[in-house]
């Protein structure tokens, strides 16, 4: 992975190519990996993400007119859009994630300037590691400073920026995601996981320093195709909404785990029963996982990873061959536990691996993929990184 210093200098160079001058500043925000608690955010539930060392950097300068001009090292084209034209579906494509943030902050009543922006990133794009929220949150951090909003200075201000980023993604980029990704990018901390309550938006930091216990979190980007904007994510959301309506609750969070069997018996359809069982048991697993981390019980955390993966594979039906192969291979090579992470249908998996087994597990996963003729996966160990910030 490129160092923060080299990414700052790369994005500054890209900005100079675009505008012929140096930027007013550089801001960055992390990708995230969710330790456990999948498809719980839009059910008002709990999740337990960490920020990644991989980050998206934006170099930005205010413009005299109300136009956004953007260029990304990960894309070919320069996109230019008048802020007045930003609306659901406009601009299309990747620039929506930037334009949407300006739109959402303007809608909140902030005086948002036009900007020139260059983007570069070490977050794999479309790998389920939330490159989209990293991009939005880096832009939001830039706007907060450049427009003098002062929102980076407090958790409350950061939560407000996260909400603007969620609105940008849902409304302008039209990807129906929950709020976990943006909240993580704004509020995560080094060497900590963020226990996030998506009903109250309250957060609690939980110690996450695996290396101190001889372990690593191995992320595998399976490179299997993953597009949140396709119908599957929306269909799971709809099924949860339908189940909540049948059960007469405002969200699946309201359901008591102890009454689960009786609750499931009230539902009309076996698919809904399985979806609800995943959500209710997964929220409970997040609680138990946070307690396991606080007690330094990594074996318990690993067992929860395995149970979570099974629940997503069987009940939520969002796993795929590559995710099952990466997690199964990690387990077979001694991982304490492994699970898919992110929205599903591809993307990434995580495994709790002894420090001295990182290399052999990485190789075993690569060999298992090669033996089946699959695209080579990319595995890397991660630690918990810090939130959106100004870099220079
Ligand atoms: P994920 O967030 O898991 O990486 P998404 O599908 O939610 O996957 O978001 C990926 C999309 O976000 C990309 O298709 C692109 O539109 C946009 N994006 C993310 N990072 C960048 C970047 N560095 N440059 C340009 N666009 C980006
Ligand atoms: Mg995303």
The domain limits of the chain are 4-208+386-390, 210-382
Assigned token pair, 108: 């909140």
Average pLDDT over residues 49-78: 98
Looking from the CA of residue 125, the nearest atom of ligand 1 is 4
Q: Is ligand 1 within 6 A of the CB of residue 173?
A: no
Q: Is ligand 1 within 6 A of the CB of residue 144?
A: no
Nearest to 351 by CA among 367, 366, 337: 337
Q: Residue 229's pLDDT is what?
A: 44
Among 76-80, 172-176, 231-235, 267-271, which is the least confidently predicted range? 231-235
Q: Residue 19's pLDDT is what?
A: 98
Strands (E), 14-172: 25-34, 46-47, 49-62, 67-72, 79-82, 115-121
Distance 131 CA to ligand 1 centre (A): 5
Q: What is the mean pLDDT of the chain?
A: 96
Nearest to 12 by CA among 4, 3, 22: 22
Let me know: does 99 contact 86? Beta carbons within 8 Å: yes
**How far from the centroid of its chain's Cα atoms is residue 254's Cα?**
24
* Annotated active-site residue in 181, 221, 315, 391: 181
Nearest to 163 by CA among 183, 189, 177, 185: 183
DSSP one-letter code for 114: P
Q: Which CATH superfamily is domain 210-382 in?
A: GHMP kinase, C-terminal domain (3.30.70.890)
Average pLDDT over residues 188-210: 96
Mutate to test the pocket of ligand 1, among 2, 94, 121 (most ligand atoms within 8 A of CB): 94
Distance 122 CA to ligand 1 centre (A): 12
Residue 243 has pLDDT above 50, yes or no: yes
Distance 357 CA to ligand 1 centre (A): 31
Q: How confident is the model at residue 280 (pLDDT cuts 50, 70, 90)?
A: very high
Q: Is ligand 1 within 6 A of the CB of residue 122?
A: no
Let me know: does 52 contact 30? Beta carbons within 8 Å: yes
Residue 346 has pLDDT above 80, yes or no: yes
Residue 177 has pLDDT above 90, yes or no: no
CATH code for the part of the protein at 4-208+386-390: 3.30.230.10
Nearest CA to ligand 1 atom 7: 132
Average pLDDT over residues 171-180: 91
How far apart are alpha carbons 102 and 204 in whole angstroms?
A: 29
Q: Residue 126's pLDDT is what?
A: 87
Average pLDDT over residues 68-85: 98
Residue 168 has pLDDT above 90, yes or no: yes
Q: Residue 226's pLDDT is what?
A: 56
Q: What angle is formed at CA 185 by the lines to CA 227 and CA 359, rounded to 5 degrees?
A: 70
Looking from the CA of residue 347, the nearest atom of ligand 1 is 3
Q: Is ligand 1 within 6 A of the CB of residue 184?
A: no
Assigned token pair, 50: 């960490």
Q: Is ligand 1 within 6 A of the CB of residue 130?
A: yes
Q: How confident is the model at residue 176 (pLDDT cuts 50, 70, 90)?
A: confident
Nearest to 301 by CA among 273, 264, 338, 271: 338
**128-166: per-residue pLDDT in tens?**
899 999 999 999 999 999 999 999 999 999 999 999 999
The ligand whose atoms approach the alpha carbon of 135 most closely is 1
Q: Is ligand 1 within 6 A of the CB of residue 138?
A: no
Residue 374 has pLDDT above 80, yes or no: yes
- Give the 3-state secondary structure of residue 27: strand
DSSP one-letter code for 64: S
Same fold, 4-208+386-390 and 210-382: no
Distance 134 CA to ligand 1 centre (A): 9
**288-326: per-residue pLDDT in tens?**
999 999 999 999 999 999 999 999 999 999 999 999 999
Q: Could you confirm whether 181 is annotated as catalytic?
A: yes
Residue 228 has pLDDT above 80, yes or no: no
Q: Residue 227's pLDDT is what?
A: 58
């Amino acid at each position: 992975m490129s160092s923060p210093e080299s990414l700052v200098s790369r994005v500054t160079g890209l900005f100079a190519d675009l505008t012929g001058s140096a930027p007013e500043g550089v801001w960055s925000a992390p990708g995230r990996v969710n330790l456990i608690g999948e498809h719980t955010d839009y059910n008002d539930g709990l999740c337990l993400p960490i920020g990644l060392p991989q980050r998206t950097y934006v170099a930005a300068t205010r413009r005299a007119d109300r136009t956004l001009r953007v260029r990304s090292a990960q894309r070919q084209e320069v996109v230019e859009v008048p802020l007045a034209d930003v609306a659901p579906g406009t601009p299309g494509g990747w620039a929506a994630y930037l334009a949407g943030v300006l739109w959402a902050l303007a809608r909140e009543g902030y005086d948002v300037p036009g900007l020139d922006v260059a983007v570069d990133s070490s977050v794999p794009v479309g790998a389920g590691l939330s490159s989209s929220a990293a991009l939005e949150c880096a832009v939001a951090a830039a706007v907060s400073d450049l427009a003098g909003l002062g929102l980076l200075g407090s958790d409350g201000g950061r939560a407000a920026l996260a909400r603007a980023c969620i609105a940008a993604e849902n409304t302008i980029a039209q990807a129906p995601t929950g709020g976990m990704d943006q909240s993580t990018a704004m509020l995560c901390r080094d060497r900590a996981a963020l226990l996030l309550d998506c009903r109250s938006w309250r957060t609690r930091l939980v110690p996450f320093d695996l290396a101190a216990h001889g372990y690593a979190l191995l992320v595998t980007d399976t490179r299997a195709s993953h597009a949140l904007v396709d119908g599957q994510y929306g269909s799971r959301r709809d099924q949860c909404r339908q189940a909540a309506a049948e059960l007469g609750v405002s969200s699946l969070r309201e359901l008591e785990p102890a009454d689960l069997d009786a609750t499931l018996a009230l539902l009309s359809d076996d698919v809904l029963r399985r979806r609800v069982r995943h959500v209710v048991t997964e929220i409970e697993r997040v609680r138990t996982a946070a307690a396991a981390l606080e007690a330094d019980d990594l074996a318990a955390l690993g067992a929860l990873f395995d149970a979570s993966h099974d629940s997503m594979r069987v009940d939520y039906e969002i796993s795929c061959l590559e995710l099952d192969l990466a997690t199964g291979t990690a387990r077979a090579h001694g991982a304490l536990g492994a699970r898919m992470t992110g929205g599903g249908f591809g993307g990434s998996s995580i495994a709790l691996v002894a420090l001295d087994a990182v290399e052999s597990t990485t190789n075993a996963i690569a060999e298992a993929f090669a033996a089946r003729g699959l695209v080579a996966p990319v595995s890397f160990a991660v630690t918990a990184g810090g939130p959106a910030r100004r870099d220079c």
